[in-house]
Structure 1
Amino acid sequence: MGSEAVHFVNGKPVAVVYDMAHTKALYIRVKNSGQKGWKSKAAGTSNHDEAKNRAIAWYFEREGDLKAGFQLKSKQFKDVAEAFLDNYKSNMDAGLPKHSATAYAEKKALIHRYFLPFFGDMGIDRVGKAGIEDYIKFRMTFWEKRIGAGDDFIEYERGGRTIKRRVKEGKPSAATIKRENATLKQIFDYAQDQGWLTLAHKPKVMDIGGRSEKRPAFTRKQMQLILGKSWQRKSDKKLARTVVHYRDQLALYIAFLYYTGIRPGEEANAIKWKHLQTDLDEANNEVRMIVVNAERAGKTKGSARKVIPKGGLWTVLDYYRAKQALFCMDDDYIFCTYEGDKIHSMKKAFSRYMDELGVTHDAYGKPYSLYSLRHSYATHNIKELGAWIIAKNMGHSDVKMLEKHYAHDTPVDHHDKLS
């Protein structure tokens, strides 16, 4: 093997070109400031002069990186992301707060579906502002490109089962991007904590959409219509028993969300009859309450909360359990299938009902959803109960989220104070 030093610093060689006895290919190696050993790679050419120029250029490129604060051997994003997942799971298994199986599954899915395909082999400290901007563009068109290529289904894990559903057309909302970016930020924070990324090179993860908008809530007049009509939809005696059951379930679900502010989906769906409990207040008076997240899979320890419903929900619940419920034992789910299993989702049934009523969008063109019942709870009760009580009932740690997303009261709601 022959070698030639092609650049010197303080009389010592720092860039070398060499060849191997068994091949005509040339190789280069450099030794940068503060580096103990040499770094080598193929020159990519068999021309000695060209290899010499490349060795010198590589040396100065690495010197520039060092002066800019970059690590010469950057940790690849994919390695950091996997290490982040392993660390999260270890914390979850150890029972640390705010580390749940549900959140772990969501983060894992995000990392493998979006982050790794884009950032993959990129050095964690080389992402920068441009990398984040390019990622946002990639994410905004991700499913449009997949659908265009004929790949319009998505698979994910839920409750130990693999779920496959058709992808929704259109770009992700600002709220979706913000929620996903929270995990991306955590990965960069973890890299900094491990010493793989300096603060100077940690990129700022931008969200989209500018100022957050309040979510749509129903008016009081709309809620009177929605609640009233919901129980009348089963009056046709020709309806099958299964249809009657599901229409009853939807009517109860609507009332339940509107009078409690509980989150639709897993939070409401996991509630059993035994979670309707009684406790004593400071004056030893019995108080009926609903215990939320008591057994919900993946929730962190201590996340269960006691909710006091508003209005006449107890009368509705007691009557339904005594007269209409097909499954009413303590360990039965309140919201269940005709066979007694926990119901998966009420989204489609609620959407069809809204279409029947012609109540699909608010005055600003925003579509209503089951979450609009939760938002309506906050809007219609904040004046009477106050932001703190509403926030605690809804499961927020403070009133910031309530003020930012849920409060819809207007001067009309406070006319008594203004007139």
Structure 2
Amino acid sequence: MERIRFRDGNVYLYKRENSRRWQARIKLKNGKWKRISTKQANLKDASEIACNLHDEYRVLQKHNVVLESRRFVDAARISIKEMEQELQAGYGKKSYLDYIQAINRYFIPYFGNTLIANIDFTAIKKFDLWRNEQVKRRLKHSTLNNHNSALKRVFNVAVDRGWINAYQVPELRNKGERSQRRPNFSWDEIKKLCRFMREWAKEGRTEKSNMMRELLQDYVLILIQTGMRHGTETASLKWKHIEEFSHNGTAFLRFWVNGKTGKRELIAKHNVRRYLKRIKKRFGKVSGEENVFRLSNGESTKCLDGTFNILMKESGLMFDRHGNRRTLYSLRHTYATFQILKGIDLHRLARNMGTSIGMLEAHYSHLTPTMAAKDLAGR
């Protein structure tokens, strides 16, 4: 292969077999080589193009301009792979699942083959409008935080590989709808609910309906007194994850749960023993590998949300006094509210619930005046 040097060996011109046109290899300032086709058959014209590009690249590199970008999808796939590997290794954040979903559902379909170096603030604004059209509603502040975190991981991949410079990463803003106050139950409403469920659990129209109501009754009472997350933590709970232990002469009930924030130890209220015994009684004997929350025929169910909605409607407790609709997650919020009003240390409560002190302060700060009512109203 014929090779001709220029610019002290930083530019090479050569021809491929059966080709009349000159190709060029240009050495960049970082030591890497960039290949181009001059599209010229004349050596003088080809050398002029290659040498001019060499000089132009040197000037651009001097000003930290990236010479070769990649498509957004290339960086996105690497980012997804890294998060999946960390999750499989056991030290990835649970929020990575949300990041991966956001990248696959929104960012790749929109940006896809766009060079990541070309994604600036204006492009992000256009993406925001497109995303709003897709979801047909204003996204929550917390959802946009997840989306921004996911996008930052993709940009970090591009920066680390030299596909963009750090200053090219656009500013990511969050103008999402602030979350409303989380609906919970008052103590009087809990007493009303417990009284109502005693007969309601037996009044289903079918045998399957009665089994659903029977399970939901204990499910509701356990969630109120443990603060477990509905679905993410209850679905994988097995009998082997529940144990008794003693400390300073007192017996305690401990749950080992695995959910949004990973594995953790949870101390349940003493009354939970009563509801667990009632569940066990339906089966006669249970093994450690069996799920705790099953119908009395042994089947698992994913329909408790629907049965809970029926319970709320028929009990007249569907909405709180602020007009917020209650869901099964309201039981977790009720647990947190009662504990905070009792004066439980936020650090201990956060660890037991698998959340952060900041999250508790953000969503339950309205309880502060109630907690200080005696001092505020005193002389």
TM class, shorter-chain normalised?
A: 0.7 to 0.9
Shift of 1:193: 3.3
What is the distance in 2 between the residues matched to 1:388 and 1:91? Answer: 27
Paired letter, 1:416: K
Q: Secondary structure at the match of 1:245?
A: helix
Is 2:327 the counterpart of 1:362?
Answer: no
What is the distance in 1 between the residues matched to 2:100 and 2:161? Answer: 20
Q: Say if 1:250 and 1:350, in contact at 8 Å, map to a contact too.
A: yes
Aligned counterpart for 1:72 among listed residues 62, 67, 74 = 67
Is 2:290 the counterpart of 1:290?
Answer: no
Aligned counterpart for 1:91 among listed residues 61, 77, 86 = 86
Q: Say if 1:181 and 1:205, in contact at 8 Å, map to a contact too.
A: yes
What is the distance in 2 between the residues matched to 1:243 and 1:72? Answer: 65
Q: Say if 2:294 and 2:301, in contact at 8 Å, map to a contact too.
A: yes
1:303-344 superposed Cα distances (whole Å, 9 cap, x missing partner): 23232326x22223323433xx34750333221245423332
What corresponds to 1:188 in structure 2? 155
Is 2:227 the counterpart of 1:266?
Answer: no
Shift of 1:279: 1.6
What is the distance in 2 between the residues matched to 1:39 and 1:115? Answer: 31
Q: Say if 2:185 and 2:334, in contact at 8 Å, map to a contact too.
A: yes
Shift of 1:80: 0.7
Unaligned 5+ runs, structure 1? 1-9, 15-20, 44-54, 145-169
Is 2:113 the counterpart of 1:121?
Answer: yes
Q: Say if 1:27 and 1:40, in contact at 8 Å, map to a contact too.
A: no
What is the distance in 1 between the residues matched to 2:315 and 2:58? Answer: 69
Q: Say if 1:192 and 1:199, in contact at 8 Å, map to a contact too.
A: yes
In the TM superposition, what are the counterparts of 1:383-398 in structure 2 within 5 Å? 383-384=341-342, 385-396=344-355, 398=356
Distance 1:400 1:41, change over 3 A: same
1:48-86 superposed Cα distances (whole Å, 9 cap, x missing partner): xxxxxxx9xx99998997576431211221111111122
Q: Say if 2:201 and 2:214, in contact at 8 Å, map to a contact too.
A: yes
Distance 1:66 1:277, change over 3 A: same
What is the distance in 1 between the residues matched to 2:25 and 2:181? Answer: 57
Aligned counterpart for 1:175 among listed residues 142, 156, 159 = 142
In the TM superposition, what are the counterparts of 1:15-414 in structure 2 within 5 Å? 34=29, 69-93=64-88, 95-98=89-92, 106-144=98-136, 170-209=137-176, 213-236=180-203, 239-281=205-247, 283-293=248-258, 303-309=263-269, 312-322=271-281, 325-326=282-283, 329-331=286-288, 332-337=290-295, 339-384=297-342, 385-396=344-355, 398-409=356-367, 411-414=369-372
Distance 1:177 1:27, change over 3 A: farther
Q: Say if 1:177 and 1:207, in contact at 8 Å, map to a contact too.
A: yes
Distance 1:407 1:252, change over 3 A: farther
Distance 1:249 1:61, change over 3 A: farther
Structure number with the higher helix fraction is 2
1:129-149 superposed Cα distances (whole Å, 9 cap, x missing partner): 2222222222221144xxxxx
Paired letter, 2:287: D
Shift of 1:226: 2.5
Q: Say if 1:125 and 1:197, in contact at 8 Å, map to a contact too.
A: yes
Q: TM-score, normalised on structure 1?
A: 0.70
What is the distance in 1 between the residues matched to 2:102 and 2:200? Answer: 40
Q: Say if 2:244 and 2:254, in contact at 8 Å, map to a contact too.
A: yes
Q: Say if 1:242 and 1:338, in contact at 8 Å, map to a contact too.
A: no
Kindly report the root-mean-square deviation, in angstroms, between the aligned alpha carbons of the 2 structures: 4.1
Q: TM-score, normalised on structure 2?
A: 0.77
Unaligned 5+ runs, structure 2? 1-6, 12-17, 40-49
Q: Percent identity?
A: 24
Shift of 1:37: 6.4
Distance 1:304 1:183, change over 3 A: same
Q: Say if 1:216 and 1:366, in contact at 8 Å, map to a contact too.
A: yes
What is the distance in 1 between the residues matched to 2:64 and 2:361? Answer: 42
Paired letter, 1:329: V
What is the distance in 1 between the residues matched to 2:373 and 2:34? Answer: 77
What is the distance in 1 between the residues matched to 2:57 and 2:313? Answer: 63
Q: Say if 2:86 and 2:92, in contact at 8 Å, map to a contact too.
A: no
Q: Say if 2:99 and 2:150, in contact at 8 Å, map to a contact too.
A: yes
Q: Say if 1:391 and 1:402, in contact at 8 Å, map to a contact too.
A: yes
Q: Say if 1:75 and 1:123, in contact at 8 Å, map to a contact too.
A: yes
Q: Secondary structure at the match of 1:266?
A: coil
What corresponds to 2:45 in structure 1? none
Paired letter, 2:86: N
Q: Say if 2:83 and 2:92, in contact at 8 Å, map to a contact too.
A: no
Shift of 1:171: 4.4
Q: Secondary structure at the match of 1:317?
A: helix
Q: Secondary structure at the match of 1:254?
A: helix
